[in-house]
Amino acid sequence: MLTKDVGSKNKIILLIIILTIGAGSTYPQRTEKPILHGRHWVAITGKPIAATAGAQMFLKGGNAVDAACAMLGAVCTMWDVLSWGGETQALIYDPRTKKVIAINGLGVAPTGATAEFYKSKGFKYPPATGPLSAVTPGTPGGLITMLAEYGTLSLKDVLAPAVQMAEGYPMEQDTSNRIEKDKDAIKQWPYSKKIMFPHLGEKQEGPLAGEVFRQPDLLITLRKLVQAEQDALTKGKSRKEALYAAYDRFYKGDIAQEFVRGSKEQGGLITMEDLAKWRVYIEEPVMATYKGIDVYKLNSWVQGPVMLQALNMLENLDLKAMGFNSAKYIHTLYQVMNLAFADRDFYYGDPYFPPEEPMKGLLSKDYAKERLKLINGDRNDSNVKPGDPYPYEGKKNPFLKYLEKWPPVGEKKEADPNSFWGGTTSIQAADEQGWVVSVTPSGAWVPAVIAGNTGVGMSQRAQSFVLDEAENPFNVITPGKRPRATLTPGLAMKDGKPYLSFAVQGGDTQDQNLLQFFLDIVEFGMNVQEACEAPNITSYQMRNSFDPHDTLPGKIDLQEKVPAGVRDKLKTMGYKIEVKKYTSGPINAIFFDWKHGTFWGGSSNYGDDYGVVW
């Protein structure tokens, strides 16, 4: 009798498992990487050696801002899909004021970089590579500003790991492969060629994996920054004044002079005045509330508000009832993202330049409800257009003539899917004092033009501008203006306390990935590591922010764990499906466990992303 009862129970358990798998539910499950549990601090970024740089700052008594700055210096030095001439944008929670602040360290278009200039050279957009793709470097200024205003350590301390790495660090396989792949482009630029190819004429001309890679020019530049700080301190200047002395040496002193000389020699447009006039902005971020959780993103100079627009729409739906990664859930996400990204593509740009972006209307809950009404529950809508948020600000839309003719005449409908995945890295740091930092730095990736003997690569971010007002009247290239970038750290607060800090590698995919990560935790109860590893979907229906600036309506990437039945249903709804092992850039995140007073760190189960905790 006992044997019979046990057998019956086993059959019931087996039936439950089969039904669960058939429904597409895969969580909770054992993750491939463990959760990082810390009590005092956590440091996570794109490479193990860079995470160690952050840990070193905590061991010196620094806070999370110091650690984030050290990690930023390290990833830039090792060309982790960015370098020192790129851009830095961050969200920081300040426990003293209990507020989230934003760091805008995005470079600007240089003198002479007008739409007419690029059109005269036959460009439809600013080019993807070369000196004419450059905006002014933002990362040195962004790092120093964060450190001066919110850190505690010296620049000498924080740059020590980067200085050691510039002296020589073991090259990683991914970067080695990237240099070799792009060597024909790199060889066009003499200063890049000098640094990147220690084995000219050999089978592999770039640095080998494991080989000690040395950057003597960058080493001199970093030492000059430290020297400027130390000289100012010797003269009796305060810590903050000394840090800004280093800032001035980069943007107004001998480093700037060599950067400009090297840029102009290779055909670039950046002037001394461009560098001297550029500044880092400390801003208020934008925010939307989703079911009692305040989600913070950067303003319209990046794509961050896209996630907030999507959450405003999704808040009106019962996502949990749809089921995780069911056909209905995936279709709903895709359609909501279509609507939010269509608005991004037309209305986002630099808020410091006219016209003023209608952000109040775009983030209106009532506007979200109106946009939601446009969704076809049965099929993909490949003709989604930007909406009209102006009435939700009590204004009349001055650009209706462009919306009526959307999309602009002559747009191509084919694209390279890989171009949506512009690489970058992400940085997450938090400490027991309450500081939280989420950073998505990027730019000046391989293949980059190195500006003279500075060792500093030049950003390629100008390619994210448009030349035609009909495409986006807010993002037409103008000297002094910031391009609308894809970089988008996230930070969420609940009950007045930090709840999640999160960011991801990628390009136009970033806010898609982060939206799903957030919902995985809030709606489906995953822990931070499960959400980092969970299957994502990727849409290609928005306008690509990178060359060739095209779109693929209806194309969707599904992770291979999505059941066959779900795939078949989506095909009948008009989707062009590609199944992949990985459908997201590596996500890095921190969950704040206030019940136990600890940190839960998460990092995707692929890529080199790595965290250190204590």
Asked if 431 and 64 touch (Cβ cutoff 8 Å), the reply is: yes
Kindly list the domain boundaries of the chain, sorted by start residue: 41-49+81-137+282-614
Tracing tokens 């939700």 back to the chain, one arrives at 392
Q: What are phi and psi for residue 368, nearest 5 degrees?
A: -60, -40
**pLDDT at residue 606, as a whole number:** 84
Write down the pTM of the prediction.
0.94
Mean pLDDT by runs of 10 across the 614 residues of the chain is 39 32 50 94 96 98 98 95 96 98 98 98 96 98 98 98 98 94 96 97 96 98 98 98 98 98 98 98 98 98 98 98 97 98 98 98 98 96 95 97 80 53 84 98 96 98 96 98 96 98 92 97 97 94 89 93 95 95 91 97 90 96
Residues in the chain: 614
**Alpha helix (H) ranges present in 438-593?**
510-522, 528-533, 564-572
Give dist(CA 11, CA 2) in Å, integer: 14
Per-residue tokens: 80: 């982790």
Asked if 503 and 438 touch (Cβ cutoff 8 Å), the reply is: yes
Given this structure, which CATH class describes domain 41-49+81-137+282-614? alpha beta
Give dist(CA 192, CA 371) in Å, integer: 48
Contacts of 43 (CB under 8 A, 6+ apart): 51, 54, 55, 58, 67, 68, 71, 428, 429, 611, 612, 613
Asked if 237 and 431 touch (Cβ cutoff 8 Å), the reply is: no
